[in-house]
Amino acid sequence: KQEVTQIPAALSVPEGENLVLNCSFTDSAIYNLQWFRQDPGKGLTSLLLIQSSQREQTSGRLNASLDKSSGRSTLYIAASQPGDSATYLCAVVQGGSEKLVFGKGTKLTVNP
């Protein structure tokens, strides 16, 4: 059974810092991995999608990497801003399935 773990559970940083969020998964037979952002009481917004054959994806100040063999992904946020404050969720899609298996998320607070 696939399990996704995110560390840390919460993170508080001053504005301008670069930061890394970690995600690990137990079964490397994934189809893809996605990072989502969730604002309080809201739905999920897809940030980055990495196919199993890819190593990384970039969008603006965000960079996500994938090491499928070791079951790890990182989300790097450069020059953090207060508007980045949210919960970041990592999810994997298992090969042969379209369901997303989520971690519990990392709650990020960027202080002005």
Partner 1 sequence: ETGVTQSPTHLIKTRGQQVTLRCSSQSGHNTVSWYQQALGQGPQFIFQYYREEENGRGNFPPRFSGLQFPNYSSELNVNALELDDSALYLCASSSGNTIYFGEGSWLTVV
Residues within the interface to partner 1 (CB under 8 A): 4, 32, 34, 36, 41-46, 49, 51, 89, 91, 97-105
Q: Least Å distance between CB 62 and partner 1? A: 17
Nearer to partner 1, 9 or 78 (CB): 9
Nearer to partner 1, 51 or 81 (CB): 51
Report strand pairing: 10-14 vs 19-25: unpaired
Euclidean distance between CA atoms 102 and 33, whole angstroms = 10
Residue 43 tokens, joined: 């739905």
Nearer to partner 1, 41 or 83 (CB): 41
In three-state secondary structure terms, 84 is helix
Q: Least Å distance between CB 100 and partner 1? A: 7
Report strand pairing: 106-111 vs 10-14: parallel
Yes or no: say if 28 and 68 are a contact pair by the CB < 8 Å rule: yes
Nearer to partner 1, 14 or 41 (CB): 41
Residue type, 24: S
Q: Least Å distance between CB 13 and partner 1? A: 21
